[in-house]
């Protein structure tokens, strides 16, 4: 069995979405004063590699604990579209049959190589609304990408989020290490903490094959 970590580590100086606060890791107890270590983590729900559920964009949408844990596990296919900019139906259509046989579609755009630079949040790859509508016709559990958003950064209406999450297709953003995958099909585990009412949560996404 081989396992590939598809998640960025969380640290205080990590990249965050423009306008969001940096994570804070505070000492609650230390060995010198208490005889044990304990820390407090303060971070937004969309920090680092994270998973969005319908509650993110719909007032009455499901929060993440409303789904059974199997929602976050399944067979995935990785599609490589390096530096594609806006991802259109035409680029995805060749994989139509494969999408009918899998639970998750992950798109390797190569953008994670910019993680930690100003370019990462500049003009990253995203899905067109037409592509999102097309993907919504499949019975997918989720879609993942190695960029900060499935939507264009400047589009605050989040049409792609809405199209996918309306169909309960969860979204995983800020993925990484796709170049380490030796096979394009594998089992994906992207388990969030079981936080009631959460619209999103950082995940430790891993590929197993």
Among all chains, which residue has been given the structure tokens 């976050």? 72
Backbone angles phi, psi at 180, to 5 degrees: -90, -10
Cβ-contact 8, 19 below 8 angstroms: no
Residue 112, CA atoms < 13 Å, CB-side half-sphere:
22
Measured distance CA(142)–CA(106) in Å, rounded: 8
3-state secondary structure of 155: coil
pLDDT at 84: 84
Tens of pLDDT along the chain (209 residues) come to 999 999 999 999 999 999 999 999 999 999 999 999 999 999 999 999 999 999 999 999 999 999 999 999 999 999 999 978 999 999 999 999 999 999 999 999 999 999 999 899 999 999 999 999 999 999 999 999 999 999 999 999 999 999 999 999 999 999 999 999 999 999 999 999 999 999 999 999 999 99
Domains of the chain: 3-7+45-208 (3.50.30.50)
Cα separation, 50 vs 201, in Å, equals 5
Cα–Cα distance, 153 to 14 (Å, whole number): 19
Question: What DSSP assignment string belongs to 88-147?
Answer: -HHHHGGGHHHHHT-SEEEEE-SGGGGTTSGGGGTS--EE-HHHHHHHTTS--SEEEESS
For position 83, what pLDDT does the model report?
A: 78
Q: Supply 122's token pair.
A: 């500049």
Token pair of 108 as six digits:
């390797």
In the numeric block, which tokens belong to residue 89?
């139906």
Q: Within 10 Å of residue 154's Cβ, how many Cβ atoms? A: 7
């Amino acid at each position: 069995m081989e396992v590939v970590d598809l998640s960025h580590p969380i640290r205080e100086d990590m990249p965050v979405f423009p306008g969001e606060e940096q994570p804070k890791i505070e000492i609650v107890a230390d060995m010198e004063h208490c005889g044990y270590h304990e820390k407090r983590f303060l971070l937004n729900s969309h920090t680092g590699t994270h998973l969005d559920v319908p509650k993110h964009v719909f007032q009455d949408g499901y929060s993440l604990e409303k789904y059974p844990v199997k929602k976050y596990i399944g067979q995935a296919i990785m599609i490589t579209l390096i530096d594609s900019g806006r991802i259109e139906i035409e680029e995805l259509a060749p994989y139509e049959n494969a999408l009918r046989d899998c639970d998750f579609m992950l798109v390797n755009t190569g953008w994670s190589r910019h993680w930690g630079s100003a370019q990462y949040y500049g003009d990253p790859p995203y899905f067109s609304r037409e592509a999102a509508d097309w993907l919504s016709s499949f019975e997918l559990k989720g879609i993942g990408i190695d960029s900060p958003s499935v939507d264009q950064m400047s589009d605050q209406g989040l049409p792609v989020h809405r199209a996918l999450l309306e169909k309960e297709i969860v979204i995983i953003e800020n993925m990484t290490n796709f170049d380490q995958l030796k096979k394009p099909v594998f089992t994906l585990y992207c388990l969030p903490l079981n936080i009631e009412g959460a619209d999103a949560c950082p995940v430790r996404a891993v590929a197993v094959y």
